[in-house]
Structure 1
Amino acid sequence: MQRAKVNGTELAYVDAGPRDGVPIVFSHSLFFDHTMFDALAGKFTADGYRVVAYDHRGQGESAPAPREELAVDVLAEDAAALIEHLDLAPCHVVGNSLGGFVALRLAARRPELLRTAAALGSSAEEEYKLAEFAPLVDHLTEHGTADVVDTVMYIMFGDSSLAQESSMTSTWRAAIARLEPRIGDAAHGVIHRGRIVEELAGCRVPVLAVAGSEDHAYPPPISSVNIADAAGGRHVTVDAAGHSVALEQPEAVAEHLEKHFATAERS
């Protein structure tokens, strides 16, 4: 992976596809890393796009950070700084869950950097399950994920994916089980985020909300119509997908993204 020193941290990222291609930036979910977009990245680089997928500070191969530096707003500033560092503007930004929080903040606050934003399995609102998730985050901070991996998998995947026991789910189950207690600090930033609804009013960036029909964390309408209404954008729901819709149904997601990108190019 390549590394960039931006916004007081060091972000690890991959940069693939032609340098003169239209850029897409992929921003990952909590508990995952940039590789959750491997299928989508491969498809779009083959189509001639330049694809950058990075790890958030405090996760994956990026630099560790203390809890106070892991607020979602800081992660959005990191993404903006990376886009500027790599001279990617204007680019498409696609984020799943936490990455969607980042994409929506960029659309609201840094519209000059974006062609479009897509929020997959995400939310524009504050955490409505705070009372449920806070004890889990405390446990993660003390013990890591190993003994709560089933709980995390239920949050992050839909019933169809969990029932199949595929190589995809087994790979990510093993990866999630290995996460160290520092993941609790990243999770704390996620569940204590502020809402972005009001800031999205009058958004100039075309926004697409992609919901999974089986999302246990942010079910429709939270992950679909609520985002679209706030940003004046569009929403779609993907069947047989949960919270990690980019991983669970990459082909369907790719089709929706292609239409989203094309609509923006025509406008």
Structure 2
Amino acid sequence: MEKVTVNGTQLAYVDSGPRDGVPIVFSHSLFFDHRMFDALSTHFTQAGYRVVAYDHRNQGASGPAPRERLDVETLAEDAAALTRHLGFGPCHFVGNSLGGFVAIRLAARRQELLFSATVLGSSAEEEHRLAEFAPLVEHLAAHGTADLLDTLMYTMFGDTSLTQRPEMCTYWRNFMAQLSPTIGDSAHGVIHRSRMVEELTGCRVPVLAIAGAEDHTYPQPISGRHIAVASGGRDVTVEGAGHSVALERPDIVAEHLEWFFDQMDVAA
């Protein structure tokens, strides 16, 4: 992975595909890292796109950060600074869950940086399960993930994946088991995020919201229709996928992304 210091933190990222390809930036979910997009990255680099997948601060191979610098607003500024550093001008920005919170903020506030924003398994609203999630987050920060792995897996994956995709689920369960208690600080920033519905009004960036039909965390209409209405965009629902829809059904997601990108006449 390459690393760069931007916005007061060190971000790790993978930059693949032809340098003259239309750029796509992938932004991952809480509890994952850039590898949740491996299948999509491979698909789009083979299609001639330049693909960047990065790790958020305090996650993956990126630098640590204190809780007060892990709010979603700061993470969105990290993403903006990374895209400016890479110097490729506008990009397609694709984010799952936490990455979707980042995508929404860039679409509303940094429109000059984006061709489009795709938001998967995410929300433009304040956390509707704050009272339920807050004690879990503090438990994570104090004790790590060991006691909460079943809860995390149910939160992040749909029923089809949990019962029919054991290899994928085992890999990510083991990944989550190794996470430091500092992941609780990142989770705190996620659940205490601000509402973006009104700020998306009049958004000039094309927005696609992709919802998993089995999302246990932000089901339709939160992860789809509400975002589309707020932004003037479009939403679709993917069967057989939960909250981590980009990871669970990359084949179907790739089809939706290809259609979406084709609606825009852009060049690198």
Q: TM-score, normalised by structure 2?
A: 0.98
Matched letter for residue 27 of structure 1: S
Matched letter for residue 204 of structure 2: R
Distance 1:207 1:252 in 2: 17
Matched letter for residue 86 of structure 1: L
Which residue pairs with 1:223 in the alignment? 223
Note the 1:149-188 alignment, pairs <5 A.
Answer: 149-188=149-188
Distance 1:88 1:69 in 2: 27
Matched letter for residue 157 of structure 1: F
Which residue pairs with 1:73 in the alignment? 73
CA offset at residue 7 of structure 1?
Answer: 0.4
CA offset at residue 178 of structure 1?
Answer: 1.0
Which structure 2 residue ranges, 5 or more long, are not aligned?
Answer: none
Matched letter for residue 99 of structure 1: G
**1:135-174 deviation digits (Å, cap 9, x = unpaired):** 1001000010011100000000000101124211110010
Identity fraction in percent: 70
Matched letter for residue 97 of structure 1: S
**1:151-200 deviation digits (Å, cap 9, x = unpaired):** 00000000010112421111001001111100000000000000111110
**1:16-40 deviation digits (Å, cap 9, x = unpaired):** 0000000000000000000000000
Distance 2:225 2:164 in 1: 29
Matched letter for residue 66 of structure 1: P
Which residue pairs with 1:96 in the alignment? 96
Matched letter for residue 150 of structure 1: D
SS of 1:265 mapped into structure 2? coil
Distance 1:246 1:265 in 2: 24
Q: Is the 8 A contact 1:198 1:230 kept in 2?
A: yes
Matched letter for residue 221 of structure 1: P
Task: Quote the RMSD (CA, aligned, Å).
Answer: 0.7
Which residue pairs with 1:28 in the alignment? 28
Q: Is the 8 A contact 1:146 1:179 kept in 2?
A: no
CA offset at residue 88 of structure 1?
Answer: 2.5
Q: TM-score, normalised by structure 1?
A: 0.99
CA offset at residue 86 of structure 1?
Answer: 0.3
Matched letter for residue 99 of structure 2: G
CA offset at residue 265 of structure 1?
Answer: 2.3
Distance 1:227 1:88 in 2: 27
How many residues align? The count is 266
Say which is worse superposed, 161-170 or 82-91, in terms of deviation. 161-170
Which residue pairs with 1:53 in the alignment? 53
